[in-house]
Amino acid sequence: MGKMKVYDYLNAKLVFFLDVESKDDALTQIVDKTVAGINLPEGERFKKAIFDREKIVSTGIGMGVAIPHAKLTAYDDFFISVAILKTGIEWNALDGTPVRLIFLIGGPDDKQTEYLKILSSLTGVLRDEELRKNLIGASSGKEVMSLFELL
């Protein structure tokens, strides 16, 4: 299978630029726009799963990044949506940093290994401060895609 590339799971249609004031707003918008963007089935169930997980444990991993995720039997493949926030919002992150970048992962609930590989690739590349700065400064889905293309 080779190295897991985050790029392979991204889609320029699933890159959103949000001006929101709360975590709930951000989650609602990224899920709703994802559902609309790729005609995602079981959108309400997906949203509920995302919110339920967030209640249990914050998905703010630090560095201004949050990675909410949910897996449903209805899904065959993984996808990643990206939201770039105009201003940082409070996310109860481990390091207390407000979140500016959200990576929403959805996919099938029976491919745990693939899921963990995606998650570790994503957190790995996001440790690069330069990449995070460039993402926050991006102005189009294409630009976001090209930042991941060479990783």
**What is the tens place of the pLDDT at every residue in 33-66?**
999 999 999 999 999 999 999 999 999 999 999 9
- Would you call 71 helix, strand, or coil by DSSP? strand
Which CATH number do you get for residue 108? 3.40.930.10
Domain assignment present for residue 49? The answer is yes
- Contact (Cβ atoms closer than 8 angstroms) between residue 5 and residue 149: no
Give the number of domains in the chain. Answer: 1
Q: Is 19 annotated as catalytic? A: no
Domain assignment present for residue 83? The answer is yes
Question: Residue 86's domain spans which residues?
Answer: 10-146
pLDDT digits (tens, 9 = 90+) for 115-144: 999 999 999 999 999 999 999 999 999 999
Domain assignment present for residue 124? The answer is yes
| All residues at 6 or more sequence positions from 123 whose CB lies less than 8 Å from its CB, including other chains | 61, 67
Q: Cβ–Cβ contacts within 10 Å for residue 112, how many?
A: 11
9-13: average pLDDT: 96
Domain assignment present for residue 137? The answer is yes
Domain assignment present for residue 32? The answer is yes
* Residue 35: predicted pLDDT: 97
32-to-5, 38, 45, 81 alpha-carbon distances in Å: 25, 10, 12, 11
Domain assignment present for residue 111? The answer is yes
The full length of the chain comes to: 151
Active-site residue among 23, 33, 47, 69? 69
Domain assignment present for residue 30? The answer is yes
d(CA 86, CA 11): 20
Written as one letter, the residue type at 38 is: I
